[in-house]
Amino acid sequence: MGKSNILFFFILFSGTISMCSAIICSAQQESLSPDLKAAALKDAACVTSASEKEDDPELAESPIRAGGREAGAIVAVKGPCHCQATNCDVLVYLRNGQGYRLAVHEKYASLHPMKIVKLGMPSLTGQFEISQQKMETTVYDWDGKDYRPSLCATVTKGKRVPAIARHPCKPPSL
Protein backbone atom coordinates (compact mmCIF):
# COMPACT_ATOMS: atom_id res chain seq x y z
CA MET A 1 0.00 0.00 0.00
CA GLY A 2 1.49 3.37 -1.01
CA LYS A 3 2.10 6.32 1.28
CA SER A 4 -0.84 8.23 -0.21
CA ASN A 5 -3.23 5.33 0.49
CA ILE A 6 -2.02 5.07 4.07
CA LEU A 7 -2.52 8.83 4.56
CA PHE A 8 -5.96 8.62 2.91
CA PHE A 9 -6.93 5.70 5.17
CA PHE A 10 -5.75 7.56 8.28
CA ILE A 11 -7.70 10.71 7.37
CA LEU A 12 -10.77 8.70 6.44
CA PHE A 13 -10.94 6.87 9.72
CA SER A 14 -9.36 9.37 12.10
CA GLY A 15 -11.28 9.69 15.28
CA THR A 16 -13.33 6.52 14.81
CA ILE A 17 -11.61 4.69 17.67
CA SER A 18 -12.32 7.37 20.27
CA MET A 19 -15.69 8.50 18.92
CA CYS A 20 -18.93 6.57 18.92
CA SER A 21 -21.13 6.16 15.89
CA ALA A 22 -24.29 8.24 15.72
CA ILE A 23 -26.39 5.11 15.97
CA ILE A 24 -24.61 3.27 18.82
CA CYS A 25 -23.42 5.91 21.34
CA SER A 26 -26.13 8.51 21.26
CA ALA A 27 -28.70 10.14 23.46
CA GLN A 28 -32.08 8.48 23.17
CA GLN A 29 -35.32 9.93 21.85
CA GLU A 30 -36.43 11.21 25.26
CA SER A 31 -33.47 13.62 25.43
CA LEU A 32 -34.10 15.21 22.03
CA SER A 33 -35.46 18.72 22.28
CA PRO A 34 -39.12 18.91 21.19
CA ASP A 35 -38.30 21.03 18.12
CA LEU A 36 -35.50 18.68 16.98
CA LYS A 37 -37.70 15.61 17.53
CA ALA A 38 -40.56 17.20 15.55
CA ALA A 39 -38.22 18.16 12.70
CA ALA A 40 -36.68 14.67 12.55
CA LEU A 41 -40.07 12.92 12.56
CA LYS A 42 -41.29 15.24 9.79
CA ASP A 43 -38.14 14.99 7.64
CA ALA A 44 -37.83 11.20 8.02
CA ALA A 45 -41.53 10.45 7.56
CA CYS A 46 -42.17 7.27 5.62
CA VAL A 47 -44.65 7.08 2.80
CA THR A 48 -47.11 4.36 3.73
CA SER A 49 -50.58 3.48 2.56
CA ALA A 50 -53.53 4.95 4.45
CA SER A 51 -54.30 1.56 6.02
CA GLU A 52 -50.78 1.17 7.44
CA LYS A 53 -49.82 3.12 10.53
CA GLU A 54 -46.14 3.39 11.28
CA ASP A 55 -45.14 3.26 14.93
CA ASP A 56 -42.90 6.09 16.08
CA PRO A 57 -39.36 5.28 14.96
CA GLU A 58 -36.47 5.14 17.41
CA LEU A 59 -34.43 8.36 17.35
CA ALA A 60 -30.86 8.79 18.60
CA GLU A 61 -28.99 12.09 18.73
CA SER A 62 -25.29 12.91 18.62
CA PRO A 63 -24.22 16.56 18.93
CA ILE A 64 -21.98 18.41 16.47
CA ARG A 65 -19.72 20.72 18.46
CA ALA A 66 -17.79 23.66 17.04
CA GLY A 67 -15.85 26.23 19.02
CA GLY A 68 -17.01 24.82 22.36
CA ARG A 69 -20.72 25.11 21.50
CA GLU A 70 -23.32 22.82 20.02
CA ALA A 71 -23.61 23.83 16.36
CA GLY A 72 -25.96 21.05 15.30
CA ALA A 73 -26.96 17.45 15.75
CA ILE A 74 -26.86 14.12 13.96
CA VAL A 75 -30.12 12.23 14.35
CA ALA A 76 -30.26 8.52 13.49
CA VAL A 77 -33.74 7.17 12.73
CA LYS A 78 -34.44 3.44 13.19
CA GLY A 79 -37.66 1.78 12.18
CA PRO A 80 -38.97 -0.75 9.67
CA CYS A 81 -39.30 1.73 6.81
CA HIS A 82 -36.18 3.72 7.75
CA CYS A 83 -33.58 0.97 7.52
CA GLN A 84 -32.19 -1.23 4.78
CA ALA A 85 -30.12 -3.95 6.45
CA THR A 86 -27.74 -2.07 8.79
CA ASN A 87 -28.12 1.27 6.99
CA CYS A 88 -30.74 3.64 8.42
CA ASP A 89 -31.86 7.22 7.83
CA VAL A 90 -29.41 9.71 9.28
CA LEU A 91 -30.21 13.41 9.36
CA VAL A 92 -27.77 16.25 10.04
CA TYR A 93 -29.31 19.38 11.51
CA LEU A 94 -27.56 22.70 11.96
CA ARG A 95 -28.67 25.34 14.44
CA ASN A 96 -30.62 28.10 12.75
CA GLY A 97 -31.51 30.78 15.29
CA GLN A 98 -33.67 29.02 17.86
CA GLY A 99 -34.45 26.09 15.56
CA TYR A 100 -32.71 23.65 13.23
CA ARG A 101 -32.32 23.29 9.48
CA LEU A 102 -31.75 20.01 7.67
CA ALA A 103 -28.31 19.84 6.02
CA VAL A 104 -27.88 16.12 5.14
CA HIS A 105 -30.36 13.24 4.81
CA GLU A 106 -28.82 9.90 3.79
CA LYS A 107 -28.82 6.24 4.79
CA TYR A 108 -25.73 5.12 6.71
CA ALA A 109 -24.65 2.40 9.13
CA SER A 110 -22.91 5.23 11.01
CA LEU A 111 -22.25 8.95 10.66
CA HIS A 112 -20.17 10.97 13.10
CA PRO A 113 -18.00 14.10 13.41
CA MET A 114 -14.30 13.79 12.75
CA LYS A 115 -11.43 15.55 14.48
CA ILE A 116 -10.69 17.46 11.26
CA VAL A 117 -12.16 20.99 11.30
CA LYS A 118 -12.71 23.10 8.17
CA LEU A 119 -13.91 26.70 8.32
CA GLY A 120 -14.84 26.26 11.98
CA MET A 121 -16.95 23.08 11.69
CA PRO A 122 -15.88 19.43 12.05
CA SER A 123 -15.93 17.25 8.97
CA LEU A 124 -18.35 14.32 9.10
CA THR A 125 -17.72 10.75 7.99
CA GLY A 126 -20.44 8.30 7.03
CA GLN A 127 -20.23 4.59 6.31
CA PHE A 128 -22.79 2.78 4.16
CA GLU A 129 -22.43 -0.97 4.60
CA ILE A 130 -22.73 -2.94 1.36
CA SER A 131 -21.67 -6.26 2.88
CA GLN A 132 -19.54 -7.47 5.78
CA GLN A 133 -16.48 -7.06 3.57
CA LYS A 134 -17.35 -3.86 1.69
CA MET A 135 -18.56 -0.36 2.56
CA GLU A 136 -18.95 3.04 0.96
CA THR A 137 -17.40 5.88 2.91
CA THR A 138 -18.21 9.56 2.44
CA VAL A 139 -16.48 12.52 4.09
CA TYR A 140 -18.48 15.74 4.30
CA ASP A 141 -16.61 19.03 4.66
CA TRP A 142 -18.10 22.35 5.74
CA ASP A 143 -17.91 24.95 2.95
CA GLY A 144 -18.95 27.90 5.12
CA LYS A 145 -22.68 27.46 4.43
CA ASP A 146 -23.36 23.73 4.23
CA TYR A 147 -21.89 20.24 4.42
CA ARG A 148 -20.79 18.92 1.02
CA PRO A 149 -19.42 15.47 0.15
CA SER A 150 -15.72 15.93 -0.54
CA LEU A 151 -14.17 12.48 -0.47
CA CYS A 152 -15.85 9.22 -1.41
CA ALA A 153 -14.39 5.73 -1.51
CA THR A 154 -15.25 2.06 -1.51
CA VAL A 155 -13.41 0.20 1.25
CA THR A 156 -12.99 -3.56 0.92
CA LYS A 157 -11.63 -5.41 3.94
CA GLY A 158 -8.60 -7.54 3.21
CA LYS A 159 -6.69 -10.06 5.29
CA ARG A 160 -4.27 -7.41 6.56
CA VAL A 161 -5.01 -4.06 4.99
CA PRO A 162 -8.24 -2.83 3.39
CA ALA A 163 -8.34 -1.90 -0.29
CA ILE A 164 -9.51 1.67 -0.84
CA ALA A 165 -10.87 2.82 -4.19
CA ARG A 166 -11.69 6.53 -4.43
CA HIS A 167 -14.49 7.65 -6.76
CA PRO A 168 -16.50 10.80 -7.48
CA CYS A 169 -19.09 11.69 -4.87
CA LYS A 170 -22.75 11.68 -5.79
CA PRO A 171 -24.64 14.94 -5.27
CA PRO A 172 -26.47 15.32 -1.94
CA SER A 173 -30.02 13.93 -1.90
CA LEU A 174 -31.56 17.09 -0.40
* pLDDT given at position 87: 97
- Domain spans of the chain, in order of start: 3-45+58-167
Q: How far apart are CA 81 and CA 125, in angstroms?
A: 23
Provide CB contacts within 8 A for 144, sequence distance 6+.
119
Residue 84 has pLDDT above 70, yes or no: yes
pLDDT for the residue 155: 97
Residues 6+ apart with CB under 8 A from 41: 56, 57, 59
Average pLDDT over residues 19-28: 40
pLDDT at 168 over 50: yes
Helix (H) or strand (E) run with residue 8 in it? helix 3-13
SS3 31: helix
Tell me the three state secondary structure of residue 4.
helix
pTM higher than 0.75 for the full model? yes
SS3 call for 20 = coil
Q: How far apart are CA 100 and CA 40, in angstroms?
A: 10
Q: For residue range 99-132, what is the model confidence (pLDDT) as tens digits? A: 899 999 999 999 999 999 999 999 999 999 999 9
* Residue 56 banded pLDDT, cuts 50, 70, 90: confident
